[in-house]
């Protein structure tokens, strides 16, 4: 009589075929533990969903812009650090910084490099209308040259 090496596999296959839809013969302790682990993982994910909270800050871009224009207009020349002395936190500093960049872009203020590294001076622009007119003329010339290259 010859011993067969795949006896366990054949018995489980016969059990699956003759079984009434149940797979009791093919269940192992490893499969049970893996199924239990997946169920527990789903329960953990369901109970620990991330919660996103929206915080409403007391700062607005309009308010910080108004503060910045009034402050720099009164002082005329202000160091960069002095602007941020009134900050209550990082978010407030961010609002002030963004309004500073916007006002510099709109030519209400000028940024001047001081001596040394990271030394900026913010200066009120008394000649804003003149700067805007000069910028407008330069923009018109540039667009005319791009549209009509034969005029050059």
88 in a domain, yes or no?
Answer: yes
19 in a domain, yes or no?
Answer: no
125 in a domain, yes or no?
Answer: yes
How many domains, in total, are found in the chain? 1
CATH number at residue 111: 1.10.10.580
Q: What is the pLDDT of residues 12-23, one digit of tens each?
A: 777 666 655 555
Query: Which 3-state string (H, E, C) describes the chain?
Result: CCCCCCHHHHHHHHHHHHCCCCCHHHCCHHHHHHHHHHHHHHHHHHHCCCCCCCCCCCCCHHHHHHHHHHHHHHHCEEEHHHHHHHCCCHHHHHHHHHHHHHHHHCCCEEEEECCCCCCEEEEECCCHHHHHHHHHHHHHHHHHHHHCHHHC
Structural domain of 130: 61-147
75 in a domain, yes or no?
Answer: yes
pTM, two decimal places: 0.54
40 in a domain, yes or no?
Answer: no
1 in a domain, yes or no?
Answer: no
Query: What is the average pLDDT score of the chain?
Result: 77
The whole-number average pLDDT for the span 35-53 is 90
Q: Residue 67: pLDDT above 80? A: yes
């Amino acid at each position: 009589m010859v011993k067969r090496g795949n006896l366990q596999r054949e018995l489980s296959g016969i059990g699956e075929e003759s079984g009434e839809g149940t797979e009791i013969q093919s269940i192992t302790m490893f499969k049970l533990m893996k199924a239990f682990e997946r169920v527990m993982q789903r329960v953990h994910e369901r109970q620990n969903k991330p919660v996103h909270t929206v915080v409403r800050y007391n700062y607005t871009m309009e308010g910080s812009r108004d503060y910045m224009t009034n402050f720099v207009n009164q002082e005329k020349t202000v160091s960069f650090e002095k602007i941020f002395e009134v900050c209550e936190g990082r978010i407030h500093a961010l609002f002030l910084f963004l309004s500073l960049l916007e006002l510099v872009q709109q030519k209400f203020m000028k940024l001047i490099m001081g001596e040394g590294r990271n030394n900026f001076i913010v200066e009120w622009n008394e000649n804003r209308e003149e700067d805007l007119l000069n910028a407008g003329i330069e923009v018109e010339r540039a667009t005319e040259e791009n549209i009509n290259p034969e005029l050059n």
